[in-house]
Amino acid sequence: MGSLYAIDSASGAVLWKTDGNIISNIAYSSAKSMVYALSRNGQLLAIDQNSGQQLVLAEFSSVPFILNGEQIAGGYELAFDDSTQVLYVLLGDSRQIFTFHIR
């Protein structure tokens, strides 16, 4: 669990940073210039790659999410398909998979 950072490749300056509650990998859409991630409190976030502005796309119940090595084993994984504009979300603790069509 940790934070997401956007860093300027030329200067090394931090452009934006999320709170330290990101529990998943990231999924990226080059077509939408968005980064997607899950927070420990069950929020599916869409984060603008340039500004860091966050939008909550969905909220899941049965939180907080628990990582591998804690009380309940769980892995939280996301993937984005730019050709179909579909975001895939796997909730590792319950082995549920969700798909979202992003418009």
Enter the CATH code of domain 5-101.
2.40.10.500
Position 94 confidence tier, pLDDT thresholds 50, 70, 90:
confident
- For residue 95, name the pLDDT band (cuts at 50, 70, 90): confident
- Residue 71 clears pLDDT 60, i.e. is over it: no
Domain boundaries, the chain: 5-101
pLDDT in tens, 17-63: 999 999 999 999 999 999 999 998 999 999 999 999 999 999 998 77
Classify burial at 47, counting beta carbons within 10 Å of its beta carbon; exposed 0-12, middle 13-18, buried 19 or more: buried
Summarised one tens digit per residue, pLDDT across range 72-92 is 556 889 999 999 999 999 987
